[in-house]
Amino acid sequence: MATSKSMFWKPDDTDLFTAERESQIEDQTTSLVFNANRSLNLVAQRKRLPIARYKTEILYCLENFQTLVIVGECGSGKSTQIPQFLYEHGWHSKGLIGITQPRRISAITLATRVSEEMGDVIGSGSVGVAVRFLSKCSGNTKIKYMTEGILLREILANPLLSQYSIIMIDEAHERSVLTDCVLGLLKKIAKKRSSFKIIISSATLDADLFSDFFNFKTKQSPKDTSMILTVEGRMYENPIFYLQEPCADYVRETVNTVIKIHSKEAPGDILAFLTGQEEVYQAINMLRDHMELLGLDETQLKVLPMHGSLTHHDQLRVFFHTPRSTRKVIIATNIAETSVTIPGIAYVVDCGFIKLKWYVAEHQMDMLIIVPASQACCRQRAGRAGRTKSGKVFRLFTEEHYNQLPIVKPPEMRRTDLSMTILSLKALGIDNILRFNFPSPPPAKNMLASIELLHAYGALDGEGQLNSPDGYMMAEMPLNPALSKMLLASCDLGCSDEILSIVAMMQVQQFFSRPNSGQGAINARRARRNFEVAEGDLITMLNVYNAFVSNGCTKEFCGQYHIMYRHLKRVVEIRNQLASIIVKQFKLKLVSCGTEIIKIQKAITAGLFPFAAYLHHSGSYRMVRGDCEVSIHPTSCLYTEKQPSWIVFAEVLHTTKLFVKDITVIDSRWLLELAPHYFDKSTARN
Q: What is the pLDDT of residues 260-308, one digit of tens each?
A: 999 999 889 999 999 988 899 889 989 988 998 988 888 889 999 888 7
Is 27 a residue whose pLDDT tops 60? no
What is the structure's pLDDT at 521? 75
What is the structure's pLDDT at 15? 31
Helix axes 597-608, 537-550, angle to 10 degrees: 130
State what percent of residues in the chain have pLDDT above 70.
88
What is the structure's pLDDT at 233? 63
Could you tell me if 333 and 306 are in contact, meaning their C-beta atoms sit under 8 angstroms apart? Answer: yes
What is the structure's pLDDT at 334? 83
Is 203 a residue whose pLDDT tops 80? no
Got the DSSP string for 376-440? HHHHHHHTTSSSSS--EEEESS-HHHHHHS-SSPPPGGGSS--HHHHHHHHHTT---GGG---SS
Helix axes 250-264, 277-294, angle to 10 degrees: 40
Distance CA 376, CA 10 (A): 26
Distance CA 475, CA 651 (A): 21
Distance CA 203, CA 573 (A): 34
Is 7 a residue whose pLDDT tops 50? no
CB proximity list for 596: less than 8 A, separation 6 or greater: 495
What is the structure's pLDDT at 433? 83
Distance CA 347, CA 384 (A): 9
Is 664 a residue whose pLDDT tops 90? yes
146 forms beta bridges with 100, 130
What is the structure's pLDDT at 30? 30
What is the structure's pLDDT at 205? 60
CB proximity list for 289: less than 8 A, separation 6 or greater: 516, 517
> In this predicted model, what pLDDT tens digit does every residue of 381-435 receive, in sequence order?
888 887 767 889 999 999 999 999 988 888 888 888 888 889 888 888 888 887 8
Cα angle at 525 between 524 and 531, to 5 degrees? 100
Could you tell me if 411 and 202 are in contact, meaning their C-beta atoms sit under 8 angstroms apart? Answer: no
Is 166 a residue whose pLDDT tops 60? yes
Average pLDDT rounded to a whole number, residues 482-500? 94
Average pLDDT rounded to a whole number, residues 482-489? 94
Cβ count near 239 (within 10 Å): 15
Is the peptide bond prior to 469 cis by the omega test (within 30 degrees of 0)?
Answer: yes
Q: Which residue has the higher pLDDT, 162 or 511?
A: 162
**pLDDT grade for 364, boundaries at 50, 70 and 90:** confident
Distance CA 217, CA 7 (A): 49
Is 675 a residue whose pLDDT tops 60? yes
> In this predicted model, what pLDDT tens digit does every residue of 516-568 receive, in sequence order?
566 777 888 888 899 999 999 999 999 999 999 999 999 999 989 989 888 89
**pLDDT grade for 449, boundaries at 50, 70 and 90:** confident
What is the structure's pLDDT at 469? 87
Is 508 a residue whose pLDDT tops 80? yes
Domains of the chain: 49-231 (3.40.50.300), 240-413 (3.40.50.300), 444-584 (1.20.120.1080), 603-674 (no CATH)
What is the structure's pLDDT at 20? 32
Distance CA 637, CA 633 (A): 9
Is 9 a residue whose pLDDT tops 50? no
> In this predicted model, what pLDDT tens digit does every residue of 51-86 receive, in sequence order?
888 899 999 999 999 999 998 776 678 888 999 999
State the average pLDDT for the chain: 84
> In this predicted model, what pLDDT tens digit does every residue of 601-646 receive, in sequence order?
999 999 999 999 999 888 889 998 777 889 998 889 998 778 899 9
> In this predicted model, what pLDDT tens digit does every residue of 580-608 receive, in sequence order?
989 988 889 999 998 899 999 999 999 99
State what percent of residues in the chain have pLDDT above 90.
39
